[in-house]
Chain A
């Protein structure tokens, strides 16, 4: 029951999301790096809500915490809260146009980043920078492409 068809392709997209998250980039692009992992997670939550759920998000969040060197659970809890809406409303979400989806994604990423900031602020006295919210915009711009590529990918490998 646990190992279903398409587990490996699914796994590969998570790895790609994680890799893109920590890939070194030139400084001027750094602040604009889209939140790849969140985009990948949102897509799979929306496309396969019966399969990708809170457990997956929790594990990916903890891996993010390790990669980012933050305190265990910061990214995990932010991603979990962010994941609630796409799972809850996946049917509505699927029927939106790409532009509408991009707007919703922007709001979701905003929620996630504000949560991460707030937790970091409580635990580590982080100071807010507006540049921390640039990825909200770049993620919304990247969303249609992520969506189309992942949809093609999903159909090609027949993941369901």
Chain B
């Protein structure tokens, strides 16, 4: 113990000083929105912590990779080849259908859908608050990532980019309480609004009248109406419908297709009308560049 008698301001004064500092920042950030530059600067500054956080996982992955035997690799290779073949066959058909669709749309006088560009990104860190479900990815301004950009994984829509640093960006998940996405039931084109509940496995559909023709198991795809998510990507599946007449609206819950709790690799999407351009790090990533959506 160094000092029995405190010098300087009392503890309470210091608390009040520090608190007022924090509250001022809160006011500046929330009410006046003036902290964005500071925020992106600090994000860049604190990025090493996020890289450290995924280091153990990467080391584990590496060890598992080193421990795989030749037979396992051979089996995996076989399976992957099979899968690739199947996918290639499906793509042939898809290309044909896409061309046909474009022609039909031209005949109808609608706009032809243009290609969108994509880039793979790795999850660097997760924010663990139930009030803010966010991920940090390893692509940022330097790669052409922009605010409001849609993010997918191999199963469905994951969320949107909410803030961008130089080498990292923050993704708001569709399950976040402050997030809502406009969807369409694939079976009958009913438009619904899905709001995050804070639970990663659940979205809540809002303002659904009791008589709506929705069923458990219905597939919900993005409707493209919000202006952020492009149309037609799978988002969620309805898992329960409670048509209790005492409630004002039917209570409908849906489960996201994307595995929000264990996402590792994500796909950033640049819709055709985006002003930003993707900047690829290496040559091989451009392979997916000319794919048509």
**Beyond A24-B54, A54-B17, A71-B29, is A76–B22 a contact (Cβ under 8 Å)?**
yes
Considering only residues 27-76 of chain A, those with a C-beta below 8 Å from chain B are: 27, 30-31, 33, 50, 53-55, 57-58, 61-63, 66-74, 76
Considering only CB atoms and an 8 Å cut-off, how many residues of chain A contact the other chain? 53
| Residues of chain A from 99 to 134 with CB closer than 8 A to chain B in the complex | 116-117, 119-120, 123-127, 129, 131-132
Query: Nearest CB to that of B29 among chain A residues?
Result: A72
On whether the beta carbons of B11 and A124 are closer than 8 Å, the reply is no
Query: Do A66 and B42 touch across chains, with their CB atoms under 8 A apart?
Result: yes
Say yes or no: is A148 at the interface (Cβ < 8 Å to chain B): no
Which of these, A20, A53, A69, contacts B14 with CB under 8 Å?
Answer: A53
Asked whether B198 lies within 8 Å of A129 as measured between CB atoms, the reply is yes
- Min Cβ gap B283→A in Å is 29
Looking at B80-88, B128-136, B146-154, the stretch in contact with chain A turns out to be B128-136
Candidates A31, A53, A67, A124; contact of B131 at CB < 8 Å = A124
Contact A19:B53 (CB < 8 A) given known A27-B262, A68-B127, A131-B130: yes
Contacts of B56 in A (CB 8 A): 23
Does B138 sit within 8 A of A, measured CB to CB?
no
Cβ-defined contact, B46 with A63, below 8 A: yes
Is B23 part of the contact surface with A, judged by Cβ < 8 Å? yes
Look across to chain A and name the residue whose beta carbon is closest to the beta carbon of B264. A24
Cβ contact of A62, chosen from B15, B25, B128, B197, cutoff 8 A: B25
Q: Which residues of B contact A73 (CB under 8 A)?
A: 22-26, 29
Contact, CB under 8 Å: A66 / B43: yes
User: Is B28 in the interface zone, CB < 8 Å from A?
Assistant: yes
Work out how many contacts link A and B, with CB atoms closer than 8 A: 148
Residues of A within 8 A of B54 (CB): 23-24
Q: Give a binary string over B26-60; 1 marks a CB under 8 Å from any A CB, 0 the rest.
A: 10111000010011001100100110111011000
Task: Choose one: B126, B198, B200; the contact of A127 (CB below 8 Å).
Answer: B198
Closest B residue by C-beta to A16? B52
B177 within 8 A of A: yes
Residue from A30, A57, A74, A124 in contact with B128 in the complex, judged by beta carbons closer than 8 Å: A30
In this assembly, does B194 line the interface, its C-beta being within 8 Å of a C-beta of chain A?
A: no
A84 touches B15 (CB 8 A): yes
Q: Which B residues lie within 8 Å of A151 (CB)? A: none
B128 to A58, Cβ gap below 8 A?
A: no
* Chain B residues, CB < 8 A from A7: none
**A-side interface residues toward B, CB under 8 Å?**
15, 18-27, 30-31, 33, 50, 53-55, 57-58, 61-63, 66-74, 76-77, 80-81, 83-84, 87-88, 116-117, 119-120, 123-127, 129, 131-132, 160
Residue pairs across A and B with Cβ atoms less than 8 A apart, 27 shown, are: A18-B49, A19-B53, A22-B50, A22-B128, A23-B125, A24-B54, A26-B262, A27-B262, A30-B261, A66-B43, A69-B170, A70-B127, A72-B29, A72-B38, A76-B25, A77-B19, A80-B15, A80-B19, A81-B15, A84-B12, A88-B11, A116-B129, A117-B131, A125-B178, A126-B131, A126-B198, A129-B199
B interface residues (Cβ-Cβ under 8 A, vs A): 1-3, 11-12, 14-15, 17-19, 21-26, 28-30, 35, 38-39, 42-43, 46, 49-50, 52-54, 56-57, 123, 125-132, 134, 136, 162-163, 170, 177-178, 197-200, 261-262
